[in-house]
Chains A and B, each alone.
Chain A
Amino acid sequence: MALIDLANPTRFLRLVNPLLPWLAAATAVLFAVGLYRAMGAPDDYQQGATVKIMFLHVPAAWLGMMGWGLMSVAALGTLVWRHPLADVAGKAAAPIGAAFTFICLVTGALWGRPTWGTYWVWDARLTSMLVLLLLYLGVLALYWTAEDPGRGSRAAAILSLVGAVNLPIIKFSVDWWNTLHQPASIIRMGGAAIDPSILTPLLIMAGAFTLLFFTLHLAAMRNEILRRRVRTMQIMEAQRFAEAGA
């Protein structure tokens, strides 16, 4: 089956419906393994047990950024090819990406207080991550408040593409500016700078968070397709009543 065949909403639903229970089960298993390994990981020599917050904070940050990357690709599909499934994918990803960005910011603040002595500083990494959350809220406002869904989708797609500029700023903010936030220690030249006893549970948790994101995203896309069918049918019913009354 060609990849383009998946871009048909009916075929998409036919594939996703049996896939979702398996994805949900795999997510639950990976979370169980990840949490078990995270709780058994040794304390950091400087941060002590607070390093356990990293197993939530780092995957949430990655997925907050990945969600926006996904929305940017979907925005191209909406604006260039005007494909309805691309718009469905973008709209479904927005609340999930916003939730992961929120988790990243709050767990970061809870990690920062015992580590840095403060919940928040206006440094480049923290501020650019807050900007990402505000961009998510902007996209959600465009999707949820536009009277004409088509216009709202196009406006949200444009904001998704413009907001993609923020992704490299977040990634390289710790290199470009002098920040309180530590520099990259996993995805960097020369390999990860974390001991395997902590890196392994972190990667398992990142896998669990990623599976969770895609499970929720596919489920939210299914809901959005059904919502659009409901809307079409309600319009058809209203037209039928109007014709009968005329």
Chain B
Amino acid sequence: MLGPHADFIIASYALTAFVIAALVAWVVLDYAAQRRVLGELEERGVSRRARSEKE
């Protein structure tokens, strides 16, 4: 079906699939990591807003 140059075709599709899988893994794992750290900071009572009056 893929002829005498099947190796080149299969290698192209395999490499593309690997790079796309790596990109998807990167965004998914990075999202989970950022959500986890944000959750930990919020649990410790840290806010993004500066406090308006000194304690």
Contacts and interface: CB of A to CB of B under 8 A. Distances in A.
Interface of A: 43, 48-50, 52-53, 56-57, 60, 95-96, 99, 102-103, 106-107, 110-111, 113-114, 212, 216, 219-220, 222-223, 226-227, 229-230, 232-234, 236-237, 240
A220 to B, nearest CB: 5
B30 to A, nearest CB: 5
Looking at chain B's contact residues, is the secondary structure mostly helix, strand, loop, or mixed? helix
Contact of A233 (B6, B20, B38): B38
B15 to A, nearest CB: 6
Looking at chain A's contact residues, is the secondary structure mostly helix, strand, loop, or mixed? helix
Contacts of B34: 223, 226-227, 230
10 contacts: A48-B5, A49-B1, A49-B5, A49-B6, A52-B2, A56-B13, A110-B15, A222-B31, A233-B41, A237-B44
Nearest to A106: B15
A230 B41 contact: yes
